Amino acid sequence: MALHIGIDIGARAVKAAALRASFKKTRLEALIVVEITEPGGVAEALRRAIAEATLGKPAAHDGVAVAIDGDRAAVRVLALPMSAQKQLGEVLPFELESEVPFDIAESVWDYRVLSTGRPELAKATELAVLVAVARTEEARARIDLLKSAILQEPERVGVGAFPLANLCLAIPELASSVEPIMLVDLGTKRSEVLVVKGGEPVFSRTVTVGTEGLPGTASKLARELRTTIASYRATGGAAPRKVLLAGGGASFISGAEGFISQEVNLPVETIPRPASFELAPTITQQSLATFPQFAKAVGLAMSLGSRPVDVNLRKGPLAFERGFAWVKEKVPALVGLGAVIALAFFLSVLVELIALSRERATLEKAMTNVTGEVLGEATPSADRANELLQQQTALSDEDPLPHADSFDVMVRLSESIPQSVVHDIDELDVQKGHVVVHGVVASVNDAQEIAKSLKSERCFSDVKITRTTQVVGGDRQKYVMEFDIKCPEDVKAVAKKPGAAAAPTATATATGGK
């Protein structure tokens, strides 16, 4: 599971929260607070906080997130046409030039398109885009501070109280509320205010009054909070349903909830701890009792997850890039994962080979049975089965087409009739190579002449006149002539393949004469 560290750098202390996140659950590993003292200052407090949050292994984490103070950035809600939705990255710089008091070319910014948190005055045909802008040098200074202190760059740089919005992912009341809820991070010298609605941030403001100077500055703090609520309502937002306090002031200033509730005329509570978080054994009851002071640090750690809802200034020239050192840190884990994948692949291949081997044995057994029954020789070899099959299906080299058929009989019979003979055929029967001709001629001699002529044909044998009769009521002669069709080539083919048919059969009946 990934270990994410959120670091909240205050005026007097550095708070760190460590979250171990997986696909379905999140575990709170550590809540650390380190006072900022001389001579080490903020850098020394950062080193101690990260060391304690990682149990003495400063590099044993998967990312760090910090935030710049809200008064170092400008937050605007812009109304843009729906047609600009796919080109927001190109359109926003031009829109921001007239909205912020510094050069947009020397700035970094991030934005969110509001959905459930759209201002009530926003037109249905327009996009409501929440944008946070800061000078590049401000964000780079915070990055360099961490880099010099812990030798690592933060993966995300948030703005003011925006990291508190990530708690909406773990606190159902914040995620499901259709009415605005105001989150106030009470710091020592400043207070960060964030309004969330439907689980997303919709308004942010930083006031330069904190817990320092209380109770003398209490009225000024109350006035600034009332002004913040009025500013939000002026943008078209509804009155907040309640106020949730976070930061050190929420944990250690006695009576803060009652005083603020009376001044702003709204219910005020301290921000609750996400009930869905599992707790590591290192989390003490004292840390849980002061959870509100770690709320921003926890939100920063949650911003390193898969679905953050805050803004991130590590964009453009400050975009985060993981270096080779990070890869080196992950080498043992990558090697372990590679070994597991290789083992899984090997086992998969082994199982597949075993399955194929069993299938081959089954097919060879079936092949043996089939070849024994059909081909007369049992063999498991496909090559041998093909040889046996070719032997049994091999065709003769001789052309199976007979050299003489019924059509040849009619042609030769026509050629054998002399021009002077008037000849009629009553019936011509050709069956299984045997021909029977029923004809009518003028005399028996004419029939004999025809039979004699057919005897000279090489494919006709045993030509003979089997019967002659006189036509009733006339002087012409009927005759019956029989012979066999048997060409020498067909006789050889039959000798090679006993039982083969000598020729196809045909029957024809015709009448005619010359």
* CATH classification at residue 261: 3.30.420.380
Q: Is residue 361 part of a domain?
A: yes
The answer to whether residues 109 and 92 touch, using CB atoms and an 8 Å cutoff, is: yes
Q: Is residue 399 part of a domain?
A: no
Please enumerate in sequence order all residues whose Cβ is within 8 A of that of 272, keeping only pairs 6 or more positions apart, or say none. 171, 173, 244
Domain count, the chain: 3
Cis? peptide before 488, omega within 30° of 0: no
Q: Is residue 398 part of a domain?
A: no
Q: Is residue 513 part of a domain?
A: no
Which residue type does 437 have?
A: V
- The two structure tokens encoding residue 386: 């093909």
Query: Do residue 304 and residue 378 come from a single domain?
Result: no
How many other C-beta atoms are found inside a 10 Å radius of the C-beta of residue 266? 17
Residue 437: what are its φ and ψ, rounded to 5°? -115, 125
Query: Do residue 173 and residue 74 come from a single domain?
Result: yes
Note the Cα 111 to chain centre separation in Å.
28
Q: Is residue 400 part of a domain?
A: no
Domain that holds residue 95: 2-321
The answer to whether residues 269 and 245 touch, using CB atoms and an 8 Å cutoff, is: yes
Closest CA to 250 of 293, 305, 190: 293
- What DSSP string describes 429-455? EEETTEEEEEEEESSHHHHHHHHHHHH
Q: Which one of 273, 292, 321 terminates a domain?
A: 321
Q: Is residue 401 part of a domain?
A: no
pTM above 0.75, yes or no: no
* CATH classification at residue 449: 3.30.70
- The two structure tokens encoding residue 314: 């590590």
Query: Do residue 109 and residue 258 come from a single domain?
Result: yes
Scan for tokens 């372990």, then name that residue: 336
Scan for tokens 């398109």, then name that residue: 113
Query: Do residue 120 and residue 164 come from a single domain?
Result: yes
- The two structure tokens encoding residue 108: 């970094």
Q: Is residue 429 part of a domain?
A: yes
Computed from CA positions of residues 495, 497, 498, 503, in that sequence, does the dihedral angle turn out positive or negative? negative
The answer to whether residues 62 and 21 touch, using CB atoms and an 8 Å cutoff, is: no
How many other C-beta atoms are found inside a 10 Å radius of the C-beta of residue 129? 20
Query: Do residue 297 and residue 385 come from a single domain?
Result: no
Q: How close are the terminal C-alpha atoms of the chain, in Å?
A: 108
Q: Is residue 127 part of a domain?
A: yes
Q: Which one of 297, 321, 345 terminates a domain?
A: 321
Q: How many residues would you count in the chain?
A: 514
Query: Do residue 95 and residue 128 come from a single domain?
Result: yes
The answer to whether residues 488 and 455 touch, using CB atoms and an 8 Å cutoff, is: no
Query: Do residue 298 and residue 359 come from a single domain?
Result: no
Q: Which one of 270, 299, 321 terminates a domain?
A: 321
Query: Do residue 352 and residue 257 come from a single domain?
Result: no
Query: Do residue 80 and residue 169 come from a single domain?
Result: yes
Query: Do residue 358 and residue 431 come from a single domain?
Result: no
- The two structure tokens encoding residue 512: 């005619």
Per-residue pLDDT of the chain (514 residues; tens, 9 = 90+): 788 999 999 988 999 999 998 877 889 999 999 998 877 789 999 999 999 988 888 777 888 999 999 999 999 998 888 888 888 888 999 988 888 888 888 999 999 998 877 776 667 778 889 999 999 999 999 999 999 998 889 999 999 999 999 999 999 888 888 899 999 999 888 899 999 998 899 999 999 888 888 888 888 989 999 999 999 998 888 899 999 999 887 767 777 888 888 888 999 999 999 988 889 888 888 888 889 999 999 999 999 988 899 999 999 889 887 655 556 666 788 889 999 999 999 999 999 999 999 999 999 999 999 988 888 889 888 888 888 888 877 654 555 677 788 888 888 888 888 888 888 888 999 988 899 999 999 888 888 988 888 888 888 888 899 999 988 888 899 999 999 988 887 665 444 444 444 444 343 333 344 3
Query: Do residue 258 and residue 350 come from a single domain?
Result: no
Query: Do residue 247 and residue 348 come from a single domain?
Result: no
How many other C-beta atoms are found inside a 10 Å radius of the C-beta of residue 489? 14
Task: DSSP letter for 346, please.
Answer: H
